[in-house]
Amino acid sequence: MHTVEVNRKASKKEIYESLLPQINALVKGEEDIIANLANICAALKEAFNWLWVGFYFVKEGQLVLGPFQGPVACTRIAFGKGVCGKCWEQQQTIIVPDVNAFSGHIACSNASLSEIVIPVFGLNQQVVAVLDVDSENAAYFDTTDQFYLELLVNNIHI
């Protein structure tokens, strides 16, 4: 059994720098992408205590829920809809400090106040999935989260 250990009193940057090597070790040698994404979600949720963290896969022209940790989630999201659909459409990370101010936000949970969504690119340089993270705190996510979460998803091969 693997455990994730981080100093919750450390800075966000220090937590990521401690966590990412642990995640890499956790998934090393495991070829099943679902198992790896499930463990990535669990490690991130455990380290940061976010409201929700999970993946949506691009399937048949929409985003379909994949491994996640947190409350029940939206199962399907259309291209260009909500933060996840916009991330897929724009092929870039989107940070939303206040989800209530984001036009077209899809509220899977009323407890979510801020969000970051990172595209996951496949071998053909097309978006194949997105990593979606929600916080109960407004304006939680910043460029530190963007840097380290992009670094994390760049090592995911779907």
Q: What is the pLDDT of residues 24-42, one digit of tens each?
A: 999 999 999 999 999 999 9
Find the mean pLDDT for residues 72-100: 94
Domain boundaries, the chain: 50-153
Residue 1: is its pLDDT beyond 60? Answer: no
Q: How far apart are CA 24 and CA 148, in angstroms?
A: 13
- The DSSP annotation for 26-56 comes to HHTT---HHHHHHHHHHHHHHHH--SEEEEE
Residue 64: is its pLDDT beyond 80? Answer: yes
Contacts of 139 (CB under 8 A, 6+ apart): 97, 98, 114
pTM given for the model? 0.94
Residue 157 phi, psi dihedral angles, 5° rounding? -120, 105
Confidence of residue 82 (pLDDT cuts 50, 70, 90): very high
Q: How far apart are CA 86 and CA 105, in angstroms?
A: 10
The CATH architecture that domain 50-153 belongs to is 2-Layer Sandwich (3.30)
Q: How far apart are CA 26 and CA 41, in angstroms?
A: 12
> Which tens digit of pLDDT belongs to each residue from 71-81?
999 999 999 99
Report the mean per-residue pLDDT for the chain: 93
Residue 58: is its pLDDT beyond 80? Answer: yes
Residue 86: is its pLDDT beyond 60? Answer: yes
pLDDT of residue 101: 81
pLDDT of residue 41: 97
Residue 119: is its pLDDT beyond 80? Answer: yes
Q: How far apart are CA 117 and CA 115, in angstroms?
A: 7
Confidence of residue 102 (pLDDT cuts 50, 70, 90): confident
| Other beta carbons less than 10 A from residue 65's beta carbon | 17
Contacts of 129 (CB under 8 A, 6+ apart): 55, 56, 57, 58, 66, 119, 120, 156, 158
pLDDT of residue 2: 74
